[in-house]
Structure 1
Amino acid sequence: MSVTAIRLFHLSAQLPETIGNALVFFDRRDTLMVEVVDSSGLSGWGETWATPAAAAAVIETQLAPLVLGQDPAHTGRLWHSMRDAAGADTQGTAITAVAALDMALHDLAARLRGVPLSTLLGGALRDRVPAYASGPFFKPHGHPYRDFERDAEGYLRAGFRAIKLRSGFRPADDAATAIAIRRLMGPDGTLMLDFNQSYTPRAALAAAARMAEAELLWIEEPAVPEDLAGYRMLSSRLLPALAGGETYGSASQFLPFLEAGCMDVLQPDIAICGGLTGTGRVAALAELFERPVVPHVWGGTVNFHAALHLTATLPAQRGGAVAFPLLEFDAGPNPLLDLAGRPALGADGTVAVPDGPGLGIEIRPDMLAPWTRWHRSLGA
C-alpha cells in the first residue's frame, strides 16, 4: 500500500452568536481537515485548527512530497521525516501541519488493519471515557458571566458531571461565578477553571485566593505558557492543581515544568503537538513523572475522536476524589464537531470509544461542502 493523494479542506463555520474567553472573542470556527488516500482507495483523516491556511501551505510545499508514495503504516518513520523537514519551526505552524498528517496516517493505518485507532495506539484500557463540559464561554456587550449559570444548568441536564469554566475577567467576579457554579453542581461535581493566560501570576493568585469555596480540581493557564517562574510561584501557593501546555508543539516544552514540579495536569493538543506521535511522547514523559495527561481538544470532530481514542489508552490516576483520565468536550456551538453527528454523552457523563476501524467515524468530502472555503488535492 502507498499514499496516492492528500486532500486539504479549509472549513469555516459561522456561529449563531459571538463567544470567547478572557483574551479573544470569535464568531466563526475554522479548521484544516486533511484526507490521506492510499492505493486501495481507503482514506484517513487528520486535522489542525490553529492556523489552517498556513498549515496547508506547509503541507503543500514541504510535507506532501515526503508522504506521497510512502507506506501509510510507517507512521513513526514518516513522523520523523516530516519533523526533520519542519526544521527550526518545531513550535509553530510547521509542527501543526505535521500533526494533521500524522493524525490522518494513524487513522488510515488503523483502517488498513481493520482495528480501532486505540488498538493501533497500544490498546484501550477502558471502553468509555469520563468527559467534562468545556464552557461556558464569555459573551460580549455586557457582563461576560451573565449566562454562566443557565449554561451550566444545561450541561448538568445533558449528563455532564464535570465542568471547566472560562475565567479571568475580574478577581471578585471570577470568584463569585466559580462559587455560584459550585453551589449549582453540589459537592460531588468536578469543577475546573481556565484563565486562558489572561492574568499575570500575581493577578491569578489574587483571583484564586478568593475561590476556596469553589473546590477547584485545577486552574488552567494561570500564566503565559513560557512563564516557568510564574508557574513555580503559583504552585507553591495554590491548593488546586495547575494545568497547561495546550500551545506546546513538543514534549520537550513540558519537561522544565515537570522537573520544577509546577505543572500537575498536562494538556497537549493532538492537532498542535505533533499529532498522535508527538502527543504520545508527552504521555510517556508524563508517566515517568506520574502526572495525568488530559488532551486539550478544540477544532472539529476528527481532533475530538483522536483525543477520545488516545485518552482510552492512558493509565488511570487519582486526583483526590477524581479519577483521571478525562476528555475535554467542547460544549459551545460548533458545527465542526457535529460533522459525523455530535458525539453522544451517556447518562453517567462518559463517551463511548468507537469500536469501528480507525477513528470509528465516517467522513466524506461531500459532508464538508457546507463549510468548505476551499479545497485542493495533491498527488493523484
Structure 2
Amino acid sequence: MAHITKVEIFMVDLAPKVRRTDAIQSFDSQQTPFVRITDADGQSGLGYSYTIGQGGSAIMALLRDDLIGKLLGREAEEIGGIWFDLKRSINALAVGAVSSLALAAIDIALWDLRCKRAGLPLWRMLGGARQSVPMYTTEGGWLHIDTDTLVADALAAQARGFSGSKVKIGKPHLAEDRVRLQAVREAVGPDYEIMVDANQCFTLSEAKRRAAMLEHLDIAWFEEPMPADDVTAHAELAAGTSVPVAVGESMYSPSQFKDYLASGAASIVQVDVARVGGITPWIKVAHMAEAFNVSVCPHFLMELHASLVCAIPNAPWLEYIPQLDSLTRAGMRMEKGRAYPSDAPGVGIDWDMDVINAVRIEDFNAEVSA
C-alpha cells in the first residue's frame, strides 16, 4: 500500500452530442468535474462525475474547500474507509446531489488507482461476471423527435444489433405518446424491446393511465414515472401494472434504493455511479438488488458503467448515450449491439489528457500535496 501525496481537481464543460429533451428539461451541457489522486509510489488514478447543465461550480467548491485536503496521508487502498469518513465529514449536506457527485469523483479515482496498482481492469476487480453486455439506445428517442424519425432510429438500432430503444414520454395527452410508441412497435416487431422514460413528470393518477396504455404495447419498463422521492406512489403503481417500474437515476444513497426494494416499488434499478456517490456505493446497491432478484440497468455514463455491469450477474442491459468521445483516445468497444469493457488496468476509460488539459476551465483548477 502507499499513502496519498497529491490531489488535483479540474473541470471541463461538454456540449451534448445531439439535442436532448425530455418531459421536464433540456440537456444543455455536461459540466464534468475531475479528480486525480497520486500516491507515494507515483501511481495515479483519475475519477470524474457530471451535472446536466448546472451545479459543477458547487461540486468543485466542495471538493476544494472540504474534501481533497482530507485525503492527504490516507492509505489509498482503504477506499471504503475513506468514502465513509469523507461522507461523515460533510454529513450536514448528505444525502444530496452535490455531496454524492463530489464523493463519486474521488471514489472513482481511488478505484482507478487500485486497479492500476493491481494490474486489473475494474470489471474483473469487482467480480468478472461476464465479458460483454447487450445495449439499448436512448439517443434517438428524445421527446422533441417526430414519430417518423423515432421509427427510423429504432430500425437503424435494431439493424446494428441493439436489444432495444428508449422513447421519452410525457406529451400533454396520452394519445400523443400512444401514437409515437405504437408506430415504433409496429416497425420493430414483437421481439425488440421498447423502454419508456417519463422523467418524473406524472402524478400517480396519470401514471396509472399511461401504464395501462403501455401494457398493450409490451413495453419493457416504465422509467421514472413520478417524482423519485415518492416511494409510496411507486409501490402503488408497481402493484397495479404488469409493466416493470424503473427508478434510480435521481437517487443519491444506497438507503434510498433499500426503501424502494423493500417496498416492492421498483422492478429495475437504474443506479448511476456518479449520482449515488461512486463505485463503492454502486456495487452495494447492485448486490442489494440481486438479493431482491431485481435487475440493474444503470443510467448514463456508459463508458464507466460498461465495466460495472460486466462485474455483476444481474445487469441485462447497458444504456447507449455516448458523451466522452471528445475526451478519450479510444471509445468504448462495441460490436453488434454489445458493449465490451476494457481489459486495461483501471476503470476502463482511455482519457486523452492533452485534450482535457486544453479545455479545462481555469477558474476551477486546484491542487493539494503533502
**Normalised TM-score (structure 2):** 0.90
The Cα of 1:161 is off from its aligned counterpart by 1.9
For residue 307 of structure 2, what is the amino acid of its counterpart?
H
Contact 1:135-1:165 at 8 Å conserved across structures: no
- State how far apart, in whole Å, the 2-side matches of 1:147 and 1:88 are: 47
Asked if residue 19 in structure 1 is aligned to residue 20 in structure 2, the reply is yes
For residue 247 of structure 1, what is the amino acid of its counterpart?
S
The Cα of 1:129 is off from its aligned counterpart by 1.2
Contact 1:21-1:137 at 8 Å conserved across structures: no
- State how far apart, in whole Å, the 2-side matches of 1:286 and 1:36 are: 31
- State how far apart, in whole Å, the 2-side matches of 1:330 and 1:337 are: 14
- Residue 162 of structure 2 corresponds to 160
- Residue 194 of structure 1 corresponds to 197
Asked if residue 148 in structure 1 is aligned to residue 150 in structure 2, the reply is yes
- Residue 247 of structure 2 corresponds to 244
Asked if residue 293 in structure 1 is aligned to residue 296 in structure 2, the reply is yes
The Cα of 1:30 is off from its aligned counterpart by 2.2
Asked if residue 57 in structure 1 is aligned to residue 41 in structure 2, the reply is no
- Residue 209 of structure 2 corresponds to 206
- Residue 360 of structure 1 corresponds to 348
Mapping of residues 46-195 of structure 1, within 5 Å = 46-50=47-51, 51-92=55-96, 93-121=98-126, 123-138=127-142, 145=147, 147-169=149-171, 170-195=173-198
- Residue 36 of structure 1 corresponds to 37
Q: Greater shift after overlay, 338-347 or 353-362?
A: 338-347
- Residue 351 of structure 1 corresponds to 339
SS at match of 1:19: coil
Deviation by residue 1:293-336 (Cα, 9 ceiling, x = unmatched): 222124xxxxx3331121112124xxxxxxx43212215xx355
Contact 2:328-2:349 at 8 Å conserved across structures: no
Q: Greater shift after overlay, 178-187 or 369-378?
A: 369-378
The Cα of 1:71 is off from its aligned counterpart by 2.1
Contact 1:5-1:377 at 8 Å conserved across structures: no
Asked if residue 326 in structure 1 is aligned to residue 312 in structure 2, the reply is no
Distance 1:176 1:270, change over 3 A: same
What are structure 1's unaligned runs of at least 5 residues? 299-303, 317-323
Contact 2:168-2:197 at 8 Å conserved across structures: yes
- State how far apart, in whole Å, the 2-side matches of 1:352 and 1:26 are: 27
Distance 1:256 1:218, change over 3 A: same
- Residue 256 of structure 1 corresponds to 259
Mapping of residues 261-340 of structure 1, within 5 Å = 261-298=264-301, 304-316=302-314, 324-330=315-321, 334-335=323-324, 339-340=328-329
Report runs of 4+ in structure 1 exceeding 6 Å deviation.
Answer: none
- State how far apart, in whole Å, the 2-side matches of 1:367 and 1:164 are: 32
The Cα of 1:192 is off from its aligned counterpart by 0.9
- State how far apart, in whole Å, the 2-side matches of 1:59 and 1:345 are: 34
**Normalised TM-score (structure 1):** 0.88
Give me the identity figure in percent.
Answer: 28
- State how far apart, in whole Å, the 2-side matches of 1:85 and 1:144 are: 48
SS at match of 1:164: strand
Superposed CA RMSD: 2.1
- State how far apart, in whole Å, the 2-side matches of 1:13 and 1:305 are: 15
- State how far apart, in whole Å, the 2-side matches of 1:370 and 1:144 are: 37
The Cα of 1:209 is off from its aligned counterpart by 1.9
- State how far apart, in whole Å, the 1-side matches of 2:135 and 2:94 are: 30
- State how far apart, in whole Å, the 2-side matches of 1:84 and 1:373 are: 29
Contact 1:129-1:325 at 8 Å conserved across structures: yes
The Cα of 1:17 is off from its aligned counterpart by 5.5
For residue 365 of structure 1, what is the amino acid of its counterpart?
M
- State how far apart, in whole Å, the 2-side matches of 1:214 and 1:148 are: 16
